[in-house]
Amino acid sequence: MQKVTSKHLKVLISVLLFGAVLFTLSGCNPKEPEVVEPQTAIFEFTQVDELAEIRVFTDGQELPESKDDGELKVSFEMSMGDELLEAYGTIRVQGTSTASWAKKNWTLKFYADPEHKDPIKVKIGDSIPSDKWVAKAEWIDPTMSRNGISFRLWEAMVNSRQTEPKLEVDNAFAHLDPEEIEPTGAVGFPKTFPAIVYMDDQHYGLALLLLGHDPDNFNIDKNNPNHIYMEFDAQHGEPPEKSWIKFSAQGIGPWIDSYYPKNDDLSPEQIEAIDQLGKFLNSEMEDFAANFDDFLDRRNIIDMLLFMEMIYDWDAVAQDLEIVTYDLKKWYFLPWDKDTTFGLWWDGSGLLEGSSTRRLYSYVYESVEEKPWFKTYHTFTDQVEARYAELRDAKVFSAEAISDFALDILEKYDNEMWEAEYERWEEAGRPSVGETDLNQILSWFGERLIMLDEHFNYNP
Whether 362 is in a domain gets the answer yes
Enclosing domain of residue 347: 223-460
Residue 18 has pLDDT above 50, yes or no: no
Whether 108 is in a domain gets the answer no
Q: What is the pLDDT of residues 144-190, one digit of tens each?
A: 999 999 999 999 999 999 999 999 999 999 988 877 888 899 999 99
C-alpha 355, offset from chain centre: 24
Q: What pLDDT shows up at residue 177?
A: 83
Number of domains in the chain: 1
For 173-181, the CB contacts below 8 A with 24+ separation are 173/219, 174/326, 174/327
Q: What pLDDT shows up at residue 373?
A: 99
Q: What is the pLDDT of residues 23-76, one digit of tens each?
A: 333 333 433 333 334 568 999 999 999 999 999 999 999 999 999 999 999 999
Q: What pLDDT shows up at residue 328?
A: 99
Q: What pLDDT shows up at residue 233?
A: 96
Question: Using alpha carbons only, what angle is made at residue 209 by residues 208 and 214, rounded to the nearest 5 degrees?
Answer: 130
Whether 33 is in a domain gets the answer no
Q: What is the pLDDT of residues 214-242, one digit of tens each?
A: 999 999 999 999 999 999 999 888 888 89
Q: What is the pLDDT of residues 290-318, one digit of tens each?
A: 999 999 999 999 999 999 999 999 999 99
Whether 254 is in a domain gets the answer yes
Determine contact, residues 383/293, Cβ cutoff 8 Å.
Answer: no
Whether 150 is in a domain gets the answer no
What's this model's pTM, rounded to 2 decimal places?
0.91
In sequence order, what are the beta bridge partners of 137?
none
Whether 313 is in a domain gets the answer yes
Whether 8 is in a domain gets the answer no
Whether 436 is in a domain gets the answer yes
Q: What is the pLDDT of residues 401-433, one digit of tens each?
A: 999 999 999 999 999 999 999 999 999 999 999
